[in-house]
Amino acid sequence: MGYSIAEAARTSGLSIDTLRYYERINLLDPPARDAAGRRSYSDEDLAWLSFLTRLRTTGMPIRRMREYASLRRRGIASAGRRKAILVEQRAAVADRIAELQACLEVLDYKIANYEHLEQNIPAVQHEASA
Q: Which residues bind a copy of itself (CB under 8 A)?
A: 44, 47-48, 51, 54-55, 57-58, 72, 75-76, 79-80, 82-83, 86-87, 89-90, 93-94, 96-97, 99-101, 103-104, 106-108, 110-111, 114-115, 117-118, 127-130
Piece of 4-12, 72-80, 95-103, 109-117 that binds DNA (CB under 7 A): 4-12
121 DSSP assignment: P
User: What own/partner pairs with CB < 8 Å and gap ≥ 24 does 95-101 have?
Assistant: 96/58, 96/59
Nearest residue to 69 (alpha-carbon basis) of 58, 57, 55: 55
Residue 35 within binding range of DNA, rule CB under 7 A: yes
| Residue 108 interface partner, choices DNA, a copy of itself, none, CB cut-off 5-8 Å depending on type | a copy of itself
| Nearer Cβ to DNA (103/117) | 103
Report the nearest approach of a copy of itself to the CB of residue 58 (Å): 5
Residue 48 within binding range of DNA, rule CB under 7 A: no
Q: Which residues of 62-91 are buried (b: 16+ CB within 10 A; e: fewer)?
A: eeebeebbebeeeeeeeeeebeebeeebee
| Strand ranges (E), the chain | 32-33, 39-40
Residue 37 within binding range of DNA, rule CB under 7 A: yes
Residue type, 127: E
Report the nearest approach of a copy of itself to the CB of residue 18 (Å): 19
